[in-house]
Amino acid sequence: MESLLAVKDLRTSFDTDQGQVVSVDRVSFELKAGETLAIVGESGSGKSVTALSIMRLLGKGSRVSDGEIRLNGVNILELDEKKMRDIRGNRISMIFQEPMTSLNPVFTIGHQLMEAIRLHLNKDKKQARAHAVEMLKKVGLPRPEQIMDEYPFALSGGMRQRVMIAMALACKPTVLIADEPTTALDVTVQAQIMRIMKDLCAEAGTAIILITHDLGVVAEMADRVLVMYAGQIVEEADVFTLFDHPQHPYTQGLLRSVPHLEADDQDELAAIPGTVPARYHKMQACRFHNRCAFATEKCRTELPPLIRTQDGHTSRCWEIEAATIHYEEGKAR
């Protein structure tokens, strides 16, 4: 199947007082129609910057310094801002982490929903309002007619997040980027939000890029997973392969840190020692070597490439075999 979205060698940098810092370093991936791709990793790994680069919503002093982002074969990095505005909210939409800061507090919910609908779907005010009410119904909000005339502060966090989903999907985009869409919501509401998003995207045939640190959400939602560390992709596989046979020591550490119901209550939860290196873009070494139990001299002096070990499974590690054997032995015990 041909790729809907193809990101190739994406490199995003920021200007700082200490010079230019690269936050996303040579990231490449493809997204097919109807697919859900999860991007996981610790805070600061480059997940959100990758999403903002795709949307071309980077702030002042930041830029995509290299690479391509092709939507249906067109490199959107080469489009002017007017053409990009036609794409944003129409063909590519994004749900941000915090709906209270994403919704404008001085405009009603209806005004903000209808703005995108009128802009992209060429509907008059009456038609746009009817479409907005229908979207609020689809995301499970009660009293949609009344909510149209309310302001964001009057809604709970879960309700605001449903509004954001309705807004993002109102124009039936081909790609939805969801950046930590259930942050700060309780577990029950998280499950409802994710189910609504998944069902509506399936109905419209929308592909999803899901950015999260919650591996439970990944297991439930994703078809394929990218693991990012220090601005790079360190592993990529389908969701079943990644959970059953992770190859990179960082991925293995993330999976070991997830609590399990069957675990003994006396067992300590595993943690990855150390922290993400500062100014990692200048490292000519494996960026995880200072936290890795399998690091060798080669890991400390040479940057590993992404190595394809089997169909569809790639890892950026010099010691895949040793790490995999150790992980499988630990599972067996």
Task: Look at the alpha carbons of 317, 322, 324, 327 in this order and tell me if their dihedral is positive or negative.
Answer: negative
Residue 315 contacts residue 294 (beta carbons within 8 Å): no
Task: Look at the alpha carbons of 282, 288, 291, 297 in this order and tell me if their dihedral is positive or negative.
Answer: negative
pLDDT in tens, the chain (333 residues): 678 999 999 999 998 887 888 899 999 999 999 999 999 998 889 999 999 999 999 988 899 999 999 999 999 999 999 999 999 989 999 998 776 678 899 999 999 999 989 989 989 999 999 999 999 999 989 999 999 999 999 998 889 988 999 999 999 999 999 998 877 677 888 888 888 889 989 988 899 999 998 898 899 899 999 999 999 999 999 999 999 999 999 999 999 888 776 666 656 778 888 888 876 667 789 999 999 999 999 999 999 999 887 677 999 999 999 999 888 887 766
Amino acid at 14: F
Domain range enclosing 273: 228-332
Query: Which of 222, 246, 273 is a domain's end point?
Result: 222
Does residue 143 sit in the same domain as residue 211? Answer: yes
Closest CA to 232 of 246, 207, 253, 251: 251
Does residue 134 sit in the same domain as residue 108? Answer: yes
Does residue 271 sit in the same domain as residue 159? Answer: no
Enter the tokens of residue 51: 């999403």
Does residue 212 sit in the same domain as residue 258? Answer: no
Question: What domain count does the chain have?
Answer: 2
Query: Which of 204, 222, 240 is a domain's end point?
Result: 222
Does residue 119 sit in the same domain as residue 267? Answer: no
pLDDT attached to residue 322: 92
Beta sheet of 207-211, edge-to-edge order: 92-95, 175-179, 207-211, 36-40, 224-229, 232-238, 313-315, 307-310
Please tell me the distance from the alpha carbon of residue 333 to that of residue 323, in angstroms, as a whole number: 16
